[in-house]
Structure formats: C-alpha cells, structure tokens
Structure 1
Amino acid sequence: MIRITMALLALALLFGCGEPVSQGVGARVLVVGDSMFAANRANNKAVADVLEAELGAKVLDRSVFAARYFHPLPISGAAGLRLSTQYREGDWDWVVMNGGGNDLLLGCGCSLCQGVLNRLVTADGRGGAIPAYVARIRASGARVVYAGYLRNPGMGTPIKHCGRAGNELDRRLTLMAGFDAGVTFVPMADLVPYRDASYHGIDRIHPSYKGSQGIGARIAAVIKGAPKQGLPAPRRR
C-alpha cells in the first residue's frame, strides 16, 4: 500500500516541478501549500480560483504538488517544493496555507510518526516548523488561514492509513491557532460525506473539482466572516 502511494506521489513530482503562475497582479491574498491546493489549477478550478470567485479579490497561488517542509532530495527545477520557500514578502491581507501531509507520508509512511510530527508542530502546538513558518508570516501583519486535509470516510484509498497521523496533526494545529487571534485553523476532515467519492479525483488522494470547490468555499467563509479591525499584529507599511 505504501509503495503504491509512493508511486503516485512520484508522478505528482513530475507535474509539480516549476514555479506556479501568478493569478493576478495586485493580489492581497497569497496561497502556499501542496497538492491539495495545487490540484485542478490547469483547469482554473483550484482552491485559489475558488477563493478569487468567492472573495471577489485577486489571489496569488504559489502552491506546488508534492511540497513539504523537510525536503531531503535535491530535485532540479523543483522550485517551491520546500514549503518555507513559497512565501514572498508582500502587502498581503491573508495568507492561506496547508502542508505537512507529504512529510508524514514520505518521512515516516504515516506510521510511527511521533518524530516527524514533533518536527512539524510539537504536541503543545507551540514549536516546530509549522508554527515557525506561521510566525514569520504573521510578523508582516497578514492574517493566516491554515487548512487541514480532506478525509475519505467509508472508502478505501492509498492513504487511508494516514488518518491517525492526520488527526493528530489537526489536533496540534488547532492548538497552534489558539495562541494567536490572527491565525485560524480550518479543518477539512468533516467536509466529505460518508462514502462520497465525488470530492476526490480518480486517485482518491487529490481533490476533484468539487473537492477544491468545497475547500475554497470553507476557507472563503472564514475570511469573509473575520473582523476587519482589532488584529493583534499591526501591518507594516
């Protein structure tokens, strides 16, 4: 099962190499992350496209297939595969993020993952690569939405065994977001109805058009419902 998953992700690497194309000059929303965000970009139906439509604002999408926090292999031309390199300084109102799933899958096979989880985000939600990355972005004054991963309830998939590690990652990210009013963790674990295959593509890993629509709509609702003032970190001009 793990070998099948590795093969699928190897294919994702082929599609993921290179810099994503900007979706608009003057964007105030930045999207960084992995294939959950990057899927369906070629057809203008990725999560960032949904955000543009829902928010009525330009969005810059820098997400990349197979991106992860700890990148052990030097892959030529794979710009943006290390998640921490996707962020660019700018006058962002919001930075929408995801990531960590490929680290759990490729770093520990989604089993015996305590060490990888701790590198991503510690059990108390305060330390690790993800809180450090979020803090770096928050220092600019931008608000952050960190999205969790879809699940496939009632269905067999190549990454079904990742559920337990994914649930623990969600728990830790929820704690992380609780320390800063400018950070929101948006879970996606409950987005897909039981035995509903329509939210995933044929590989049952990446979101379908409907899946990207659901993810984007949930994130957009958070952004549209956020208070306009009273942020704990003022924007630097």
Structure 2
Amino acid sequence: MIKSILSRAGLMAVLMLGLTLSACTDRTPKGGGDILVIGDSVMAWNGSNDQAIPDAMATALDRDVISKAVPGAQFSNDSTLLSAVGFDIQDQYPGGRWNWIIVNGGANDLGLNDCKCGACTPVVDTLIGADAASGEVPAFLSRLRSSGAQVMWMGYYAGNGKGSFEGCRDDLVLLERRIARFAAQTPGVTFLDSELVIDRNDPSLFASDNTHPSPKASALIGAYLAKGISARSARSQ
C-alpha cells in the first residue's frame, strides 16, 4: 500500500490537471457500460499518454474500460464546486449499470485534511469504522454493489521512501486493512492490493515525483487488476 501522496508544492498543478481532464469530452456511455474506474491520481497518472492503469486494464482484458479518475480527488470532498468536477470520488460515479466498478482513494483525504498525515485516525474512522462495516466507504461500496456491479477496491502500493507525505503510511495501512475486512465479508466486493506487484526498491516503477506510478508500474498494476477481474468473472459465469 502507498504511503505517500502529493506534495503541497505540486497540489495546484495537480488540481489544474484534474480540471483539464474533467473538461475533456466525457465518453461515459449513458446508462452504464462494462468497466468503470473511479479514483485519484494514482489511477489517472500516465493517462495523457494512454498508459494509465485503466488503459492497461483495457489492453489486458480487451474490454471497454471507462475512467473517471481525477488527480487530487478525495474520497469525500466537502466542496460542492470541486465535487462537481470530479474531486469527490463518490461523485465520479455517473450511475447506470456496470459489470465492474474499480475504486481507489483515501490518500488525499489524509494529506489535505487538517491532520496533514499526522494523527489522522479520526479521518480514517469517518471513512470506515473500526468495525469495518460503518462509515462512508462501506456505505458507498454497498451502494455500488446494489446497482448490480461487481466492485473492486485497489489498495495503494508502498512508497519508495523519497516521496512526500510518507507520514500517511500508518493511517493508510489502517484504512485499507479495514476495507479489506469489509470486502472479505461482503459478497461481490473484492480488495486487491497493488503493493503485491510493485517493488518499492525499483526506481523504474516510480514517476519523477517518487510518488506516482511510472508507465511501467501502471502497466503492472493494470494487468494485476485485469487478472483479478478475469478470475472472478469466470467464477460468476
């Protein structure tokens, strides 16, 4: 799991990138589609070159993958304006019927909160409680599941120790342990940890900011998620 996010110095640049991406033509099919991806910059990174995680998934699966992920997005953003342009991951969900919905997020909720990746357990508790059943994340994933979609949460990879906000690691580990427990006890919800395919000691897997995935890493993660989807789709047939 990751455990680094955006630096303060680069935040405005990422927000502007997110606004630019959200202003592009929305190719989301009305009424739904096959695979929907929602999340933050880890999902969206390398997208300008069609080398983001969702692009790799589409290639591996030979299926239609629509990404609504926005750099800088929080799982829960209180700003109505920012939520409207994709900076609230829950509001990225366009509704409709999807076969699969892939989700990631939570890092920006910690790094951009008043706790600033310090004592952020109360933020984690709001997202998902110690019971791994209450909070915004379980409520949202249950909502997605009730639409008929299979739901997958992608866990972050571990940072290489050089990125910013390394202090987020302990709270993100706590967050994702709880989400994994929720998935284990909820039919139709899966947790896959991208940390299993990313070697934090391999510099070629990190972008120049030492936080986001390189194209090579996005390809590895996309293939890993695609394999998970294929395995679970086969069992459901």
User: Which TM-score applies when normalising by structure 1?
Assistant: 0.88
- For 1:15, the equivalent position in structure 2 comes to 17
Give 5+ residue unaligned stretches, structure 1: 232-237
Query: Counterpart of 1:146 in 2: which secondary structure?
Result: strand
How far has the Cα of 1:90 moved from its partner?
2.1
Query: Counterpart of 1:221 in 2: which secondary structure?
Result: helix
Q: Does 1:178 align with 2:193?
A: no
- For 2:47, the equivalent position in structure 1 comes to 41
How far has the Cα of 1:229 moved from its partner?
5.9
Q: Does 1:136 align with 2:138?
A: no
Q: Does 1:122 align with 2:129?
A: yes
Distance in 2, matches of 1:176 and 1:184, equals 9
CA offsets, 1:12-51, max 9 Å, x none?
1111112465567574000000001111111001111111
How far has the Cα of 1:159 moved from its partner?
2.5
Query: Counterpart of 2:191 in 1: which secondary structure?
Result: strand
Distance 1:222 1:152, change over 3 A: same
Letter of the structure 1 residue corresponding to residue 57 of structure 2 = L
Q: Does 1:211 align with 2:217?
A: yes
- For 2:157, the equivalent position in structure 1 comes to 150
Query: Counterpart of 2:195 in 1: which secondary structure?
Result: coil
Distance in 2, matches of 1:111 and 1:94, equals 34
How far has the Cα of 1:230 moved from its partner?
5.2
Instruction: Give the one of 111, 118, 121 matched to 1:111.
Output: 118
- Equivalent runs, 1:212-227 vs 2, <5 Å: 212-227=218-233
- For 2:58, the equivalent position in structure 1 comes to 52
Query: Counterpart of 1:31 in 2: which secondary structure?
Result: strand
Q: 1 or 2 for the larger relative contact order (CA 8 Å, sep ≥6)? A: 2
Distance in 1, matches of 2:191 and 2:25, equals 26
- For 2:106, the equivalent position in structure 1 comes to 100
User: Which TM-score applies when normalising by structure 2?
Assistant: 0.88
State which drifts further: 18-27 or 99-108.
Answer: 18-27
Distance in 2, matches of 1:142 and 1:227, equals 11
- For 2:195, the equivalent position in structure 1 comes to 189
Distance in 2, matches of 1:174 and 1:111, equals 23
Letter of the structure 1 residue corresponding to residue 128 of structure 2 = V
How many residues are paired up? 228
Give 5+ residue unaligned stretches, structure 2: none
